[in-house]
Amino acid sequence: SGVERLGDMIARAKTIVPFTGAGISTECGIPDFRSPGGIWTRNRPIQFEEFVASQEARDESWRRRFAMEEVFAAARPGRGHRALAALHRAGKIPAVITQNIDNLHQASGFAADRGIELHGNTTYARCIGCGQVYQLDWVKRRFEADGAAPNCTECDEPVKTATISFGQAMPEDEMQRATELSQACDLFIAIGSSLVVWPAAGFPMMAKNSGARLVIINREPTEQDEIADLVIHHDIGEALGPFVGN
């Protein structure tokens, strides 16, 4: 079966780089973006330019974030996260590249510099002007006191979750590290992503072009199934559960 072949490929590989999307966190209670019930089936994304230009858009963005707080605060690493962490401890996985913003790879045992967050992190906030970090509690208190999303106390520019919105520049260091990892691995595993959002979706092809074998694990077909050496259309927790160990 596909899962057995995956086991062989993992056993033979020296350097495995996982690339994860929202599908690895759905069993943790966090909705993905494009499945039925997903975030973008309920809300239109707020573009970065809108966030910069409009207090209305900033207020709406923060209201959405606060509405998700219980979900993010309660989420714990799932079987997929724990399997990758076990393979990391075993020395097979140097780092994980993720599009996710939920901090769950870090929570499962990847140090901050071993969980490459291409789309940032929603568990804290930053000023979009000077980069000053803010805790979400601070933003919430200010929002409740003023009835509006706050600006930075240092430079008066808007404060935003530390995530990358559509239209916002990708983080350079993370892109560079993800490039190096993709080019250096011998097995690249795309897990729980529809593989439609670029430039992130370019890493599987980059790995393949550098000689890695490519595995895709996703419930639904993806944009890039045809370039994969192995496609597993299966639940992630089921497919990776055998690698969780103790």
Chain positions contacting Zn ion, by CB under 5 A: 127, 129-130, 132, 152, 154-155, 157
Round to whole Å and give the CA distance between 143 and 137.
Answer: 10
Residue 32 identity (one-letter amino acid): D
Cα separation of 228 and 226, whole Å? 6
Cα distance between residue 203 and residue 47, in whole Å: 23
Residue 152 touches which of Zn ion, ligand OAD, none (Cβ within 5-8 Å per kind): Zn ion
Piece of 15-23, 63-71, 89-97, 124-132 that binds ligand OAD (CB under 6 A): 15-23
Q: In this structure, how many other beta carbons lie within 10 angstroms of the beta carbon of residue 220?
A: 10
Instruction: Choose the one of ligand OAD, Zn ion, none that binds residue 155, judging by a C-beta under 5 to 8 angstroms depending on kind.
Output: Zn ion
Q: Which is nearer to Zn ion, 127 or 175 (CB)?
A: 127
Cβ 170 to Zn ion, closest distance in Å?
21
Distance CA 99, CA 218 (A): 15
According to CB under 6 A, which one of 6, 16, 23, 178 is a site residue for ligand OAD?
Answer: 23
Whose Cβ is closer to ligand OAD: residue 37's or residue 147's? 37
Cα dihedral 177, 178, 181, 185, rounded to 10, equals 180
Which of the choices ligand OAD, Zn ion, none does residue 202 contact, using the CB cut-off of 5 to 8 A by kind? none
The answer to whether 103 contacts ligand OAD (rule: CB under 6 A) is no
99 in contact with ligand OAD (CB under 6 A): yes
CA 196 to chain centre: 14
216 contacts 228 by C-beta, under 8 angstroms: yes
Catalytic residue among 81, 105, 119, 233: 119
Q: Clarify whether 119 is annotated catalytic.
A: yes
